[in-house]
Amino acid sequence: MLKKLSRRAFRRSLWVYHCNSGACNGCDIEILNVLTPYYDVERFGIRLVGSPRHADAILLSGAVTRPTLPLVKKVYQAVPAPKLVFAVGSCAIGGGCWYDTYNVTGGGEKAIPVNYFIPGCPPRPEAIIYGVALALGLVDKKVVPVELKQMEFPVDMYRWQRLLETNNVIYKLLGEEDDRLNFGGKRDGQDSAG
């Protein structure tokens, strides 16, 4: 639904508010950089605005620190719906290299709902433009979502470990067909039966 909405509502005009919640400036200067002549996002109707009340989207950069956490929430509330939130850079995504220090609460998602993540330290201007364009439906996704599932092994993957437990010897990992590890098949058969 969000996708449809942003394609319809924001496609030709998206006003973004840049919210620095405790970044190192790296992401911030790249965000400013996309406005300058080489990248020029205004051709997509994207503008930086000074107040969250004028904005359609928030570009969040930096880990959310303890003092800025309530402020970031306020900024989110001040943006009129429908709204999009982009987390720009590693810190805004998951807290970066100081994700667990005493004054950092973590990534942007801990404070407000985030719609799109733009990774990088800092992300290149092209990456930021691509992320926003993706949200607006101007480009296609380059990756598809991967569903993670426990693999079912055709062989018993815990066999070596059981052998170690019963015999207390570490076996060198060799091919499945190797006779030296098969223990005549008898013990193995008992194992799987048990």
Partner 1 sequence: MSRAEELSRRLREELGNLVLDLETGTPGRLFIDVSKEALGKVAASLKNQGARYQAAVAYDARKTGQGFGLIHTFAFDRDSLLVAVRTFAPEDDPEFESITPLIPGAGWSEREYIDLLGLKFKNHPEPRRLVLSDDWPEGIHPLRRDVPHDLMPPAAEEVAFRLEKAPAGTSIIPFGPFHASLHEPAHFSVYVDGEDIKGCEYRGFMTHRGIEKLAQTELTYNEVPFVAERICGICGSVHSVNYAQAVEAAAGLKIPRRAEFIRTVMLEIERLHSHLLWLGVAGHLIGFDTVFMQSWRIREKIMWLAEKITGNRKTYGMVIIGGVRRDIERQRASEIRVVLTEVEKEMLALEKAILKDKAIHKRTKGVGHLSKEAAVSWNLVGPVARARGLAIDVRKDHPYAAYDEVDFEVVTADSCDVWGTLVVRVKEVYEAIRIINQCLDKLGRLPEHEPLSLVLEGPVPSGRQGLSVVEAPRGEAVHYVLTGDDNRPERWRVRAPTYAHLQAVPDMLLNNKLADFPIIVGQIDPCISCTDRVLVIKLGQGRAELLQKQELERISRSRRKER
Rule CB under 8 A: which residues touch partner 1?
Answer: 18-30, 32-33, 36-38, 50-52, 62-63, 65-71, 75, 96-98, 100-105, 121-122, 124
Give least dist CB 56 to partner 1, A: 17
Smallest distance, partner 1 to C-beta of residue 137, A: 28
Strands 64-65 and 104-106: antiparallel
Closest CB to partner 1 among 27 and 163? Answer: 27
Q: Rounded to the nearest whole angstrom, what is the least distance from the CB of residue 14 to partner 1 in the complex?
A: 18
Q: How far is the CB of 84 from partner 1 (least distance, A)?
A: 18
User: How far apart are CB 77 and partner 1 at their closest, in Å?
Assistant: 13
Task: Pinpoint the alpha helices (H) of 47-177.
Answer: 69-78, 90-94, 125-135, 159-167
Q: Within 13 A of 107's CA, how many CA atoms are on the CB side?
A: 19
Distance, CA of 7 to CA of 136 (rounded, Å) = 5
Between 67 and 189, CB nearer to partner 1: 67
DSSP string of 41-77, one letter each residue: GGGGTEEEES-GGG-SEEEEES-EETTTHHHHHHHHH
Q: Which is nearer to partner 1, 6 or 122 (CB)?
A: 122
Nearer to partner 1, 69 or 134 (CB): 69
Using CA atoms, how far apart are residues 6 and 38, in angstroms rounded to an integer?
Answer: 26
Closest to partner 1 by CB, 38 vs 153, is: 38
Nearer to partner 1 by Cβ, of 23 and 136: the residue is 23
Report in angstroms how near the CB of residue 170 gets to partner 1 at its nearest: 30
Sign of the CA dihedral with 46 first, then 48, 51, and 52 last: positive
**Cα gap 167→130, rounded to integer Å:** 56
Rg (CA), the chain: 25
One-letter amino acid of 30: E
